[in-house]
Chains A and B, each alone.
Chain A
Amino acid sequence: MADIINLATGGTKPPAQPGADTALILEMIKVSKSFGGVQALQDVDFDLREGEVHGLVGENGAGKSTMMKIIAGVYHGFEGEMRVGGKQVKLGSPGEALAAGIGMVHQELSIVPDLTVAENVFLGVQPLMAGGVVDWGRMKREARKQLASLGLDIDPSTRMGSLPVGIQQLIELSRVLFSGARIIILDEPTSALSPPEVARLFEALGRLREQGRTIVFISHFLDDVLAISDRVTVFRNGRKVVTEETSNLTKESVISYMIGRGTAEMHMGESAELSTDNNLPVILSAKNLSDGGMIRDISITLRKGEITGVYGFMGCGQIELARALFGKGKLTAGEIQLNGKTVSFRSTSSARAAGIAYVPENRRMMLFRTEPVYKNVSIAILDKIDRILLRPARERAIAQRHIEDLQIRPPLPNVALGGLSGGNQQKVALAKWLTEMPKVLILSEPTRGMDVGAKEDVIRIVKSLRDKGVAILVLSTEPETILTLADRITVLKRGTVAREFTSGHVDKGDLLAAA
C-alpha cells in the first residue's frame, strides 16, 4: 500500500467535549427512504446533541445528503420517526423545518451577488416600517450585529458579489442563524475555501458552539471534519456505519469505515496496480497552469498510449483544467506543449484542429438531442469528410461503423439522439472523436450515471483507444472510475496537485486520503 501523506495542516481538536449526558436536540429513529426502487436510506438511527459539531462523512450516494435533506424538510414522506427536542415532528417543507429551528446551508450558495450584504442577510424578510417601506437603518444595524456574532467586521452596504466566497458563505450562514435556527446543517462548506478561509469558518463555528447551537458538518475533507467535529457519523450504502467521538477516530479509521475494507468484498475499481513507463513519448505537457481562480499551478503530463487519471472532489479544479486544455477558459499563467511545441488555443476549434478531443462531464453539453445520431457523430469531423458540400451517405456510413464498433443501441444512424439511453448517448459522444484518432482524448466523468453494462463498455472502449496510442486524460470525482482506468494518477485538491501516484498498489483509501 502506498504511503499516505497528510498534506493538510493537522488542525486543533475542539476544546470542549460535550458529555454523553448532554440533551439530545434531534433524534431520527429507524429512518428509511427510497427513490423509485433505489434504497437511499435503510433503518438509520441518527441523533444530535445540543451544542455539538457533528461531522458527517461517506462517499457519494452513501445517504448522508438524503438524511440531511429529510432533516431540513426538503424531502418529506419517509419511514421512521423524527423528534426535535424530544417531541415528534413532521416537516412538510424547508420553511417548516426553519420554524422548528433547523436550517441548511447548501453547497451552491443562494445569494444574490448584486444586492448588498444587508439585503442578502434579510432576503425575503426585510424589516418594514409603517406603510410597507423597508427599514434600511434597522436592516443595516441588525445585519452588522449578526455578522459581528460570527466574528465578521463587514460594512453591510457592501455589494455581495465583491466579497470572497468564504465571506459569502458566512453571510449565508448568518441568514440561517438570523432566522432562529438552532440546528444548522452545512453541506460541503470548505470545498471552495482557501486554508485561511477555512480557519475563519472554524472560528465562527466555534462561536456558534459556545452559543449552544448544533452544527452538522457534511464534508469530503476528512482533515476538516476531524479538526472541527465533536462526533463523527459515517454512512455507507444507505446505512449508518458508526457514530463515534472524534477523539477515538483517526483519518485512517474513518476511511476504512467509509469504504468498508475488511468487512465487504472487494468491488471492481477498489484498488489498482499502477505501472507507468516513463520512456513512453510525451504527447502533451502542461506546466504551472493557473487561471486566477480554480486552477492554481497545476502541471500534468500525458503520454502516448497511457491513461492519466485525475481524481479530486467536486470543485477541485478538474473541470476547469479539462476546459483549459481544450481551449476554453483563459489561463493567466503556465504553458502547454503538444508534441514538444508550445501551443496556445484561442478556441475549441483550434484545439480540435491540433488533435485534442474532449468529452465533457455533462452529455447535454456536447450532443444535439433532437438531431439524428449520424449528425451528432459527424459534427466533429465535417471538415475532414467534406470540402463544401455535405455527403450525408458518407456520414451515415461512418456513423454506422461506430454504431457497430461501440455497440450503440438502437443500431440506427437516423434515429434522434434523444431516444437513446444515457449510456448509448455517452458512446455517441465518444464516437464523435474516433473517426480520426485524436492525439489527446480528455474525458470528464466518462462513466457517471451509467448502468453497469454501459460502464463496462465505455471502459473497454477507452482502454482500446489507449492501446491504439492515444494519450488519454480521465477526470473524475469517483475513485472507482479512476482506479479502473488510470495508469498514473494525479490527485487534485483545491486547484493544486496534492499527490501523484505512478507505481505500485493504490486503493480507494489512498485517493480519499490524498484529496
Chain B
Amino acid sequence: MSVTTETARPFSFGRFMAEQMRNIAPVFTLIVLVIFFATQAESFRTFDNFMNILSQASITGIIAVGLTFVILTAEIDLSVAAVANAIGILVAYFTIQPEYVNIANIPVNGLIAIVLTLVACFTIGLVTAFGVVGIGIPSFIMTLAMMQIANGISAMLVRGQIAYNFPDLITAMGSGSIFGIKWTIIICIVFMLVAHLVLTYTRFGRYVYMVGGNREAAEYSGVNVKLIIASVMIIGAMCSGIAGMLGVAYFGSAQQNQFDTYLLDAIAAVVVGGTSLFGGRGGIGNTIIGLLVLGVLNNGLDHIQIDSFLKILIRGIILLAALVINVYAQKLKESASD
C-alpha cells in the first residue's frame, strides 16, 4: 500500500471546487466588495476607516461567535439580540445612575454587578437549553419566546428610560482603546480565537460538528446529543450577554430596542460566511469572512453616493444570494462525496 495516495480517487478540480464552494464564495465576495468600494471612494481605503469597520463589526462579532456554535449543531437562536439588550440593561440596573434617570435600580459594587449579570445571562441560556432539549421545543420557536421574554425584561427594568452609567470595567472595555485599537476589537478577536481553538482542537468541538453533521448517527455512537445542544444554547446566550454589556458601553447608553439590528446582522454574518444552516460545516473562519463582508458592505455603502433606503434592499439581496449559495453548496458537497 502506498502512503502517497491520500485520496482513493484521482484529484478532480471540479470536485475540489464543489467541496470548497462554501469557503470560496464568501472570500470571493469580500474581495470583489473591497475592490469595488476602494476604487469608488477614496475615503473608504484609509486605515482609520479599516479600524472603523472592525470596530463596527466587533459587537456583532461576539454575538456571531456564539451563534456559530448554535448553527453548527443545526439549531438556531433568535433571541441573541434581545438577550444582549436585556443583559446590557441589567448591568446598568446594578449601577448608580444620574439623578435625572428615573429607574428603581439596585446599585452594587461594579464587579459584583458584572458577576450577577453573567449569572443572569447563564440562567437565560439554561432556560433556553431546557426548553429545547428538556421539553423538546424546536429552537426556532423556543428562542422566539425567549426573545420576547428578554425584551420584556428590558422593558420592565428601564421603563422607557435611558441609563447612562455602567461598571467602570465595562465602560473601559466597551468604549476604551489601547494603542489606538478599541478594546471591543481585541475582545472580539480573543473570543474568535478561543472559539476557533475549541471547535477545532477539543473533543467538545468535534462533538458539535458531529451532532450537526448527523444527529442520529451521533446519538447511535453514544454521544450525549442533548448535553451538546444544551451547551451550545448556553454558549450562545453567554456570548450575546457579554456582547450586550460591551455594547451598551460602546453606545454610551442602555435603552430598549437598541440591539434590534444585531439579530439579523449576526445570523447573516454566520450564514454569509458559509457555515451550513444544516449544521456540521463551517466554523469561525467562515464567520470572520461573513462579518467582514457585511461590515465592508455597510461601511462602503456610506462612502459612495447611494440612496440610504436602497442600502437596506442591497443588504437583503446579498443575504439572499448567500442563502442560495449556502443551500447549493450543501447539495454539491453531498453529491461530490457519493
Residues of A within 8 A of B (CB): 326, 328, 347-349, 351-353, 357-358, 360, 364-371, 375, 379-380, 382-383, 386-390, 410-412, 414-416, 418-419, 432
- In the complex the two chains form, is B210's CB within 8 Å of A375's CB? yes
Q: 0/1 per residue, B317-335, Cβ < 8 Å to A? A: 0000000000000000110
- In the complex the two chains form, is A364's CB within 8 Å of B333's CB? no
Which chain B residues lie closer than 8 Å to A368 at the CB level? 210, 213-214, 217, 280
A375 to chain B, nearest CB (A): 7
Select the stretch in B72-80, B107-115, B143-151, B200-208 that faces chain A: B200-208
Select the stretch in B3-11, B181-189, B241-249 that faces chain A: B3-11
Which chain B residues lie closer than 8 Å to A387 at the CB level? 203
Which chain A residues lie closer than 8 Å to B280 at the CB level? 368, 370
28 contacts between A and B (CB under 8 A): A352-B222, A353-B222, A364-B214, A364-B217, A365-B216, A365-B217, A365-B220, A366-B221, A367-B214, A369-B214, A370-B213, A370-B281, A375-B210, A379-B217, A379-B218, A380-B221, A380-B222, A382-B203, A382-B207, A386-B203, A387-B203, A388-B203, A390-B201, A390-B206, A414-B6, A415-B8, A418-B337, A432-B221
- Given A379-B210, A412-B6, A419-B9: A370 in contact with B334 (beta carbons within 8 A): yes
B338 closest partner in A (C-beta): A418
- Given A370-B337, A371-B210, A419-B9: A389 in contact with B221 (beta carbons within 8 A): no
A349 closest partner in B (C-beta): B224
A420 to chain B, nearest CB (A): 8
Which 4 pairs show the lowest CB-CB distances between chains A and B? A352-B222, A418-B337, A349-B224, A366-B220
A445 to chain B, nearest CB (A): 14
Q: Give which listed residue, A351, A371, A375, A419, contacts B8 with CB less than 8 A.
A: A419
B299 to chain A, nearest CB (A): 36
Complex: A371 Cα to B221 Cα, angstroms: 14
A338 to chain B, nearest CB (A): 15
Which chain B residues lie closer than 8 Å to A326 at the CB level? 220
Complex: A371 Cα to B9 Cα, angstroms: 16
Which chain B residues lie closer than 8 Å to A358 at the CB level? 220
Complex: A329 Cα to B155 Cα, angstroms: 43
Complex: A210 Cα to B314 Cα, angstroms: 71
Complex: A351 Cα to B223 Cα, angstroms: 10
- Given A368-B213, A388-B203: A348 in contact with B6 (beta carbons within 8 A): no
Q: Give which listed residue, A351, A367, A383, A415, contacts B203 with CB less than 8 A.
A: A383
Complex: A360 Cα to B220 Cα, angstroms: 8
- In the complex the two chains form, is B206's CB within 8 Å of A367's CB? no
Which chain B residues lie closer than 8 Å to A414 at the CB level? 6-7
B220 to chain A, nearest CB (A): 4
Not counting A347-B224, A375-B210, A379-B206, a sample of 14 additional A-B residue pairs whose C-beta atoms are within 8 angstroms of each other reads A328-B220, A360-B220, A366-B216, A366-B221, A368-B214, A368-B217, A370-B213, A371-B213, A379-B223, A380-B221, A380-B222, A386-B203, A387-B203, A419-B9
- Given A347-B224, A380-B222, A418-B337: A389 in contact with B6 (beta carbons within 8 A): no
B331 to chain A, nearest CB (A): 12
| Interface flag for B303 (CB, 8 Å) | no
Contact residues of B between 259 and 298, Cβ < 8 Å to A: 280-281
- In the complex the two chains form, is A416's CB within 8 Å of B224's CB? no
- In the complex the two chains form, is B203's CB within 8 Å of A389's CB? yes
- In the complex the two chains form, is B337's CB within 8 Å of A410's CB? no
| Interface flag for B219 (CB, 8 Å) | yes
| Interface flag for B1 (CB, 8 Å) | yes
| Interface flag for B226 (CB, 8 Å) | yes
Which chain A residues lie closer than 8 Å to B203 at the CB level? 382-383, 386-390
Which chain A residues lie closer than 8 Å to B213 at the CB level? 368, 370-371
Complex: A386 Cα to B204 Cα, angstroms: 10
Complex: A367 Cα to B220 Cα, angstroms: 9
- Given A371-B210, A383-B203, A386-B203: A410 in contact with B8 (beta carbons within 8 A): yes
Q: 0/1 per residue, B223-239, Cβ < 8 Å to A? A: 11011000000000000
Complex: A414 Cα to B7 Cα, angstroms: 8
Q: 0/1 per residue, B1-41, Cβ < 8 Å to A? A: 10001111100000000000000000000000000000000
Q: 0/1 per residue, B24-61, Cβ < 8 Å to A? A: 00000000000000000000000000000000000000
A77 to chain B, nearest CB (A): 26
Which chain B residues lie closer than 8 Å to A365 at the CB level? 216-217, 220
Complex: A115 Cα to B49 Cα, angstroms: 60
Q: Give which listed residue, B5, B201, B202, B220, contacts A348 with CB less than 8 A.
A: B220
